[in-house]
Amino acid sequence: MRILLATSELHPYSKTGGLGDMVGALAKYLAKKGHQVGVVTPLYRGIREKFPEIKRFEWLLAFQLGTEFVRGGVWTIQPQENLTVYFIDQPRFFDRDGIYQGSTGDFVDNAERFTFFCKSIVNLARYLPLQPEIVHLHDWQTGLVPLLIRHDFETGGWGDPPLHCLTVHNLAYQGVFEASKFALCNLPWEYFTAAAAEFLGSFNFLKAGICIADQVTTVSPTYASEIVTPEFGCGLEAVLSELRNPVKGILNGVDYEEWNTRQNPHLMQPYDSGHMDGKRANKLALQKQLGLSERADAPLFVNVSRLVEQKGADLQLEAIQWLLDLDVQFALLGKGDALFEEGFSMLAAKHPGKVAVTIGYDHALAHRLEAGGDFFVMPSRFEPCGLNQMYSLRYGTPPIVRDTGGLADSVTDARDDAGKVNGIKFREPRSAALKQALFKALAVYHDQPVLGRLRRNGMRADFAWEHVATHYETLYREMKKRPRPALPKPEVDRSA
């Protein structure tokens, strides 16, 4: 098949979280399966310098954004056979220190930036020699693409446009702007209705994509069932529950070529489920690097996360303070809300030798925390998929997670299956519930046969991207078999 993916971030070129990892891996493994794959993503500051093999592509982008005419260019790289990455070059929009925000918060022109990006995706989908059969879109930053394709199909002579699949990685982020920003699309205002881009009087990128896409997916089966409920639907539960093709949940995978314990340049010593001495060596090396007391016998709890409420940063901060009265250690790598950054930093200052906090992101240190920790703490209030819990399983570091979303789908508690248990789950999003789970982990730590079983089960769990890519192949083929639905004009709302 000919497949064009579109994403606002793409590992290894740009990344703020799991979105970049997911799309990079999906593209890689679809190409390995012999499909012709393209990926469209912005050319952010520093990419060309870090990847000098990127070449200018003879392609001119020129679009109306409301009353303004904006030009751009395209650069490309072919990192492997069957895979081409197309970088959208528009310095005014993408040559910045951050991807979505700067030091003072979200960029005020994000609507302009990602409207231009969506128009660029449609332009490439229509005119590239690749001529994709499927355009696979990711998150709100690409949400206008189905609407733009539909309009070109109806009015612009695009006789056989590609099918479009939209994956929602986190429903909490929808790309919501004031209604006047819809003019940037240069589409008829009759599309600004409840049937497409309008939501509660505002312009909603993600809702436009959800309403028009041929298929909506999300990144775990449990999250797919959660987001059609008021608790997790972020206001869009009714829209999602009424789709003609129900939301499909496909659990993300792990790229074991990178996230492994045998051939990993970031680790002190290799190890696997049959040879665990290397894990002890990695723990001692991590303790030394972070300034923790170098004690193999002290339980070490670790975390790599964005420090925000969604990730349960407040629950973790409170529960860990209780735990530090005992003979334990804690190490964290993350950044996020200033309140949580300060709280964890103060905890480290108060408990030298027991707590280490690194504010920021360090890819090598993330690997070392996964390998050197005894337990990985991930108390998310909601988690569409999550990747770190799957990384920690492969590294023999049992995860402690809230029973939600992709965490529920990937971690097995003793209550789920005592024979396949590989982690610890708790239900309520409260620090007291997390504290109980942490105490349960301490009991496991001091029962070496039980701890060994959790570690071995986790390291044998298989979330390989080869399997995940096969699920997407199957979905794409199902989409191609469906009759293309009629595309009626939205009802006209003259009051907009």
Do residues 226 and 283 share a domain?
Answer: no
Q: Which residue type is seen at 4?
A: L
Q: What strand order describes the sheet that includes 176-177?
A: 176-177, 202-204, 198-199
Global confidence as pTM: 0.91
Question: Alpha carbon of 4 to those of 67, 82, 124, 454, 470: distances in Å?
Answer: 29, 12, 9, 40, 16
Task: Compute the radius of gyration of the chain from its Cα atoms.
Answer: 23
Q: Regarding beta strands 36-42 and 55-65, do their DSSP bridges make them parallel or antiparallel, or are they unpaired?
A: unpaired
Q: What strand order describes the sheet that includes 163-168?
A: 55-65, 68-80, 83-89, 36-42, 2-6, 134-138, 163-168, 215-218, 248-249
Q: What strand order describes the sheet that includes 355-359?
A: 355-359, 329-336, 300-307, 375-378, 399-402, 424-426
**63 falls within a domain:** yes
Do residues 228 and 336 share a domain?
Answer: no
Q: Regarding beta strands 36-42 and 215-218, do their DSSP bridges make them parallel or antiparallel, or are they unpaired?
A: unpaired
**Where are the alpha helices (H) located in 310-403, listed in sequence order?**
313-323, 338-350, 363-372, 388-394
**284 falls within a domain:** yes
**451 falls within a domain:** yes
**91 falls within a domain:** yes
Q: What is the CB neighbour count within 10 angstroms for residue 343?
A: 18
Whichever domain contains 348, its CATH number is 3.40.50.2000
**81 falls within a domain:** yes
Do residues 379 and 395 share a domain?
Answer: yes
CA-nearest of 83, 79, 74 to 43 is: 74
The answer to whether the CB of 195 falls within 8 A of the CB of 491 is yes
**163 falls within a domain:** yes
The answer to whether the CB of 186 falls within 8 A of the CB of 174 is no
| CA dist., res. 122 & res. 209, Å (int) | 13
Q: Regarding beta strands 83-89 and 55-65, do their DSSP bridges make them parallel or antiparallel, or are they unpaired?
A: unpaired
Task: Please give the structure tokens belonging to residue 440.
Answer: 């349960």
Do residues 11 and 144 share a domain?
Answer: yes
Q: What is the pLDDT along the chain (496 residues), one digit of tens a residue?
A: 999 999 999 999 998 878 999 999 999 999 999 999 999 999 999 999 999 999 999 999 999 999 999 999 999 999 999 999 999 999 999 999 999 988 788 999 999 999 999 999 999 999 999 899 999 999 999 999 999 999 998 887 888 899 999 999 999 999 999 999 999 999 999 999 998 999 999 999 999 999 999 999 999 999 999 999 999 999 999 999 999 999 999 999 999 999 999 999 999 999 999 999 999 999 999 999 999 999 999 999 999 999 999 999 999 999 999 899 999 999 999 999 999 999 999 999 999 999 999 999 899 999 999 999 999 999 999 999 999 999 999 999 999 999 999 999 999 999 999 899 999 999 999 999 999 999 999 999 999 999 999 999 999 999 999 999 999 999 999 999 988 765 545 554 434 3
CA atoms within 13 A on the CB side of 232: 21
pLDDT at site 488: 47
**173 falls within a domain:** yes
CA-nearest of 23, 26, 31 to 1 is: 31
pLDDT at site 139: 98
Do residues 281 and 235 share a domain?
Answer: no
| CA dist., res. 87 & res. 40, Å (int) | 6
* Residues forming a β-bridge with 254: 464
pLDDT at site 495: 41
Do residues 304 and 191 share a domain?
Answer: no
Domain span at residue 434?
277-462
Do residues 428 and 475 share a domain?
Answer: no
Q: Is 33 exposed, middle or buried (0-12, 13-18, 19+ CB in 10 A)?
A: middle
Geometric angle at alpha carbon 228, from 196 and 39, rounded to 5°: 60
Q: Which residues, 6 or more positions from 13, have their beta carbon under 8 angstroms from its beta carbon?
A: 20, 41, 44, 47, 50, 51, 85, 87
Do residues 114 and 15 share a domain?
Answer: yes
Task: Please give the structure tokens belonging to residue 6.
Answer: 């579109």
pLDDT at site 396: 98
Do residues 229 and 288 share a domain?
Answer: no
Q: Which residues, 6 or more positions from 281, have their beta carbon under 8 angstroms from its beta carbon?
A: 268, 269, 271
Do residues 241 and 352 share a domain?
Answer: no
Question: Alpha carbon of 249 to those of 135, 165, 217, 400, 483: distances in Å?
Answer: 18, 12, 6, 23, 22
Task: Please give the structure tokens belonging to residue 480.
Answer: 């191609």
Say which DSSP state 196 is in: T
Q: Regarding beta strands 329-336 and 399-402, do their DSSP bridges make them parallel or antiparallel, or are they unpaired?
A: unpaired
Do residues 456 and 473 share a domain?
Answer: no
| CA dist., res. 15 & res. 19, Å (int) | 7
**261 falls within a domain:** no
Do residues 133 and 243 share a domain?
Answer: yes
Domain count, the chain: 2
CA-nearest of 400, 301, 294, 289 to 344 is: 301
pLDDT at site 494: 38
Is the dihedral angle over the CA atoms 154, 474, 256, 35 positive or is it negative? negative
